[in-house]
Amino acid sequence: MRRRLLVLVASTVSLALVAFLIPLALLAQTLAADRATADALVRAQSLVPLVSADSPESLRLAVQQANSENGGPLTIFLPGGTAVGAPAAESDAVKLAFTGRSLTAQAAGGREIVVSVQGRTAGTAVIRTFVSDADLTRGVGRAWLILGLIGVGLLAIALVVADRLGRSQVRLIAGLAGVSHQLAAGDLTARAPTEGPHELREVAGALNHLADRIRVLLAEEREAVADLSHQLRTPLTTLRLETDALPSSEQAERVGTAVESMERMVTQVIKEARRSRHDRPGRSDATAIVAERVEHWAMLARDQDRPVRTDLPHAPLPVSLSDEALTTCVDALLENVFAHTPEGTAFRVELRPGQDGGAVLTVSDEGPGYAHADPAARGISGGSSTGLGLDIVRRAAERSGGSLTLAASPSGGARAVAVFR
């Protein structure tokens, strides 16, 4: 926009200067020629009294003195063909002046001025002077240079003013763009200043109104999700009572553990729904969480004859996720193994420190691999699941500053690498 404004101003001012300076330049040339012609005519007419007095000696001295001064050569043609002063040919203009007419005529290399002098006893005399092209254009180049410098100066001033104006407008527009990028990044507190021209103030007001509306809609959505999740507590409570009434057995213990996991997930959903995007993330120990969840799923793996290999560090690995969020991610990755591979399929869980801190969790199996080209796509599943598990892991990893990578394992199965910061 700034460049276009400069081009527009430069074009407009240039056209205005051309329309203004060219006539001035031509006028300066005409005035210079008229001034030189008028000066020559005055010099010629100053000799008219001497020519009329019919005093040859006085006339000769006056012409010599006039030719010794600056100015065009003077020649006086007397009746009978006698010429006094600078040598010059008797041109057509001189011949016409002998008839009693004074005139100015164009000649080779300049302008010829002839003055007819009558009243002499011997007949009409003619005073001739010549103005060269150099004299006719003396000072024109300087005038044109001054006009050119004035034009360049005016154009430079116009461009500086246009640049300042364009910079202020671009700054305001860039500010609006920056606020829109902040909103796109999730900073719903960003607001655009309502300043500048009326149109930009309208855009800033509309953008601020949109940000307020988005904030209200997200708050309503979070509350709706929280309310819906809270409604799940009633059937979970009933399920918990039914589980407590079961006879003590290993199966009843597993059902009770599953119910506790569901209650924990529902609580996490409620917290996540009501958590602001700007709340500080929690901290958890990835080593402890992964070890605890692997031990939990190991019981089901034994029932399905699944070999489990683990490679977990002994030192704590803190990550920027709450215990509940990290537990949900680990459960989602392990649940994928049980849901999408046949019983007896081996899997491996590896946890290692990240290069810049955090932790890298790798879950790989020896099953058939991913059935979909983009297994992390939300709501798309190659089996009977909801297709939300991997997307939940991806979002949690990105929220902590990490990522989720899906690929094939060395044995051809599925391999998920979650980086938590």
Segment 274-292, tens digit of pLDDT = 565 545 557 899 999 999 9
Whole-prediction pTM: 0.49
Residue 66 lies in a domain: yes
Tally of structural domains, the chain? 3
Residue 159 lies in a domain: no
Bridge partners (DSSP) of residue 362 are: 350, 417
269 and 311 housed in the same domain: no
Residue 183 lies in a domain: no
Read out DSSP for 193-242? ---SSHHHHHHHHHHHHHHHHHHHHHHHHHHHHHHHHHHTHHHHHHHHHH
What are the Cα distances from residue 275, in Å, to 225, 280, 285, 337, 403? 12, 9, 21, 30, 21
pLDDT in tens, 394-411: 988 998 999 999 999 988
Q: What is the CATH number of the domain that holds 239?
A: 1.10.287.130
289 and 352 housed in the same domain: yes
Mean pLDDT of the chain: 86
pLDDT in tens, 289-325: 999 999 989 988 998 999 999 999 999 999 999 888 8
354 and 328 housed in the same domain: yes
343 and 408 housed in the same domain: yes
231 and 312 housed in the same domain: no
Nearest to 139, CA basis, from 45, 66, 39: 39
Distance CA 77, CA 138 (A): 28
Residue by residue, pLDDT tens for the chain (421 residues) are: 778 888 888 999 999 999 999 999 999 999 999 999 999 999 899 888 888 876 778 888 888 888 888 788 999 998 888 899 999 988 999 999 999 899 999 999 999 999 999 877 778 999 999 999 999 999 999 999 999 999 999 999 999 999 888 888 888 888 889 999 998 887 888 999 888 888 888 999 999 999 999 888 888 887 777 666 667 766 877 777 777 777 877 777 777 777 777 777 777 666 666 565 545 557 899 999 999 999 989 988 998 999 999 999 999 999 999 888 899 899 889 988 998 899 999 999 999 999 989 999 999 999 998 876 566 554 455 554 445 678 889 988 998 999 999 999 988 899 999 999 9
- By residue range, what is the domain housing residue 237? 188-279
386 and 355 housed in the same domain: yes
411 and 289 housed in the same domain: yes
261 and 353 housed in the same domain: no
264 and 334 housed in the same domain: no
Residue 147 lies in a domain: no
